[in-house]
Amino acid sequence: MTPKDRKYTRDHEWVLIEDGKARIGISDHAQHALGDIVFVELPAVGDGFKPGDSFAVVESVKAASEIYTPVGGEVVEVNEALEAEPERINADPYGAFLAVIAVAELDEAALLDADAYDAFVASEG
């Protein structure tokens, strides 16, 4: 079930925007494709990013993957619990956000709703 309360990118991140703050994580499809996640590198609170910037790294046994932010702005919160328990991303991808960014810039065109994202994933095979 792809949650309908949020938007998705073609790089398989999800973004949930509430009160001008964007909570960002990776989709169920992404965590599944990566396999066992063993390490995350999170940004620091106060770091600034532009839409499309790499803001975090998620590593599985096999590979490291850059995670891109669909919004620009300053990081106001990071999910530090993931540093000790990165496997939470596998278990609960839509709960295990990586960071929260105060939205200063938003690239609407880059975002898909849940149905469009599912169709995109299906089309990627």
Partner 1 sequence: MEALKKTPLYETHLKLGGRMVDFGGWNLPVQYSGIVEEHKAVRERAGLFDVSHMGEARVTGKDAFAYLQKILTNDIATMMPGRCRYSMVCYENGGAVDDVLVYKYSDEDYLLVINAGNTAKDLAWFEQNLFGDAKVIDESPLWAQLALQGPRFLDVLKEAGVSGPLPEKNYTFVPETVVAGIRCMVSRTGYTGEDGVELYCKASDGPALHAALCKAGEAYGLLPCGLGARDTLRFEAGMPLYGHEMDETVTPLEVGVGFAVKLNKEDFIGKQALLSPAKRARIGLHLLERGIMREHCAVYCEGKEVGKTTSGMPVPTLEGSYAMALVDISFAQKDEFEVEVRGKKLKAARAAIPFYKRS
For partner 1, the binding residues in 63-122 under the rule CB under 8 A are 63-64, 83
CA dihedral 34, 40, 44, 47 (to 10 degrees): -20
How is residue 76 written in tokens? 């106001």
The residues pairing with 59 across neighbouring beta strands, listed in sequence order, are 39, 64
Distance CA 77, CA 21 (A): 10
Q: Does 57 bind partner 1 (CB under 8 A)?
A: yes
Q: Report the amino acid identity of residue 68.
A: Y
Q: Which of 47, 53, 59, 74 binds partner 1 (CB under 8 A)?
A: 59
Q: Does 47 bind partner 1 (CB under 8 A)?
A: no
Q: Which of 38, 102, 104, 114 binds partner 1 (CB under 8 A)?
A: 38
Q: Which residues bind partner 1 (CB under 8 A)?
A: 35-36, 38-39, 41, 57, 59-64, 83
